[in-house]
Amino acid sequence: MLMRDARIALCSVGRRMAESGLVSGASGNISVRAGDLVAVTPGGMMLDRMEPEDCPVLDLDGKLIEGERDPSSETPMHLAIYEVSGAAAIVHTHSTYGAVVATTMEELPPIHYNSLALGGVVKVAEYATYGTAELAANVRAALEGGRWGRMHAALMANHGGVTLGRDLEEAYENARLLEWLCGVYVRARMIGEPRVLTEEELQRVVERGLVPPDHSPE
């Protein structure tokens, strides 16, 4: 079976995403890249009920190489991101606080220094219908480099979030961090106006060693 370990990992992370509330039902999707091949979760299937053979393997043009199930409807977005980044894994969530921020804001400001682990200010991609080339282009634009380099997370207007990683574990942990940051922001707004860290304050954090990983194209 092609990409056997990656397909097993997709199932494991899919279960963890469902258990942690990052997805519900058949929402959300995950992929792993190895060279010119991508293993992705299948469309219309709950992530905590997948088996490795359920996850199709595609080439970078989206051609099915192995598997019986159709790939996730968001596969064009995953492939568009891989095209311009060196990321090896992508996680797309429909988490509660991420969706709240994505429905009300144009960006998630850096209210905590750990925002730098995702690249700083997390942009909200313009809305487009799920699974479309338009949405893929909007998300890719939201991931373009900012003040602190290329982003490793973006939110999708009225939809959810997407995170990148050098491996699947990092992409999953970035998804957890994004949801935590969104949760802190939403809760802070309940009691007052959240204080946003200045560029000078963030630069001091960078100088202490917290620098986003490099996901530049290879």
Dihedral sign for Cα atoms in the order 38, 43, 45, 46 = positive
Torsion of CA 43, 132, 148, 60, to 10 degrees: 60
Active site residue 74: yes
Strands 153-156, 122-125: pairing is parallel
The interaxial angle of helices 168-191 and 96-104, nearest 10 deg, is: 60
Q: How far apart are CA 60 and CA 54, in angstroms?
A: 19
Q: Which of 53, 74, 83, 170 is catalytic?
A: 74
Q: How far apart are CA 128 and CA 2, in angstroms?
A: 33
- The amino acid occupying position 7 is R
- By annotation, the residues acting in catalysis are 74
